Amino acid sequence: MNIPNRITVSRILLIPLFLIIMLVPFDWGDMHLLGADMPVTHFVGALIFIIASCTDWVDGHYARKYNLVTNMGKFLDPLADKLLVSAALIVLVELNDVYAPSWIVIIIISREFAVTGLRLLLAGEGEVVAANMLGKIKTWTQIIAISSLLLHNIIFEMISFRFDILALWVAMIFTIWSGWDYFAKNSHVLKNSK
């Protein structure tokens, strides 16, 4: 296992820590940050999520720079993204004080399952497909939306602009678009599997 793949695995290993911080009822007292209605757990969870998300850029950059792109990395990297994003979205639905409509979360997670299923079919045909630019844009719009929701839209709260909700809608649009694109470009595997 090379260094980029280890970085990817570290992203997966940060998911349980994120879940523990967000879901275990730690006694942080009645603390809120920056005078906003944001519990400390959400801030700490957001930091863990952002750090984990940044490893996505680090592992990809390192793998390309030092020519360490492997089939394992092509498989692990999108899987780690999907696990992290899915975990965070499900947590957001559970939280009562953060607005994340379950129907948007269902669309996003369903696309991730569908694309993972298609990747498995492609792997059965001996093809391993790395994420394309549209898939990377999808991932980063999801990360921005989730981070904004976890941070309670704190940057834009002063001007009463719901950037977090807008970002979630943009993430959903890119999720649907990139999913359609992925199936359109790899439809041959569906025809061959009949």
pLDDT tens, N- to C-terminus, the chain (194 residues): 788 889 999 999 999 999 999 998 877 655 565 555 677 888 899 999 999 999 988 988 888 888 888 878 878 888 899 999 999 999 999 886 567 899 999 999 999 999 988 888 887 787 777 678 898 899 999 999 999 999 888 877 777 788 999 999 999 999 999 999 999 998 887 777 65
What would be the CATH architecture of the domain defined by 3-192?
Answer: Up-down Bundle (1.20)
Q: What is the pTM of this model?
A: 0.87
Structure tokens at 88: 């965070």
Which residues touch 47 (CB under 8 Å, ≥6 apart)? none
Residue 40's Cα: distance from chain center in Å?
22
Task: Give the DSSP letter string of 64-112.
Answer: HHTT---HHHHHHHHHHHHHHHHHHHHHHHH-SSS---HHHHHHHHHHH
